[in-house]
Amino acid sequence: MKLFIDTADIAQIREAWSWGIIDGVTTNPTHIANSGKDFDSVLEEIFSIVDGPISVESVSTNAEGIIEEGRRIAAFHKNAVVKVPVMIEGLKAVKVLAKEGIKTNVTLCFSPLQAFLAAKCGATYISPFIHRLDLVGHDGGELIRQMRQIYDNYGFQTQILAASIRSPKQVLDSLLAGADVATMPFDMLRALYQHPLTEDGLQMFLDDWKRVPPSRLFTSKAGA
């Protein structure tokens, strides 16, 4: 499963990219607005850091507008992916963009039937919103499992991009359910590394090392 970071914060993207685990980025109008920078400059910085798929959201609500915006987004950079909401006008646009070889990420998916329709229209990615489903008493992990079965049953190539992730358990659920990608905020990515037993074990080893006689292998203070 690939990992994307869900943000437009350049410092966070740069830091997460340095960890070696990030495969791409998802953005949305809220992230761009929160960056406090103009749209084009934010995108230019993101594309200069991450060599992978970068989802950029369209803002029109009719097919013609989405298609026009999608073409401009795709022309901006070879790694650009056009985010489109799962609605009739959105999927009409996805059908056209897919025929032109433009990659799309169909977003705001909350049902397996929506995912089925997006795949029929040639979506590159489909983004089920896991946490938002969990908040209203549904099972986001079960949605991914249903989508996986439908896509496998009929040979759809659309990749399942688990979104709206707010806990390590939701990441694990996405992995076990067969998601192709999971996107999450910076703090959530960092939380995947953390476990209290790891921290306790590391501290024990460091404390014990202080009792070991000096070694020629470890003469540098680097990493202390």
DSSP state of 214: P
Instruction: Please give the Cα distance from 119 to 126 (Å, whole number).
Output: 8
Token reading at 42: 């934010």
- Taking the C-alpha atoms of residue 125 and residue 148, their distance in angstroms, rounded to an integer, is 13
Active site residue 99: no
Beta bridge partners of 6: 26
Give me the catalytic one of 2, 83, 103, 120.
Answer: 83
Strands 104-109 and 80-85, by their bridges, are parallel
127 three-class SS:
strand
Interatomic CA distance for residues 44 and 52, integer angstroms: 13
* Active site amino acids: 83
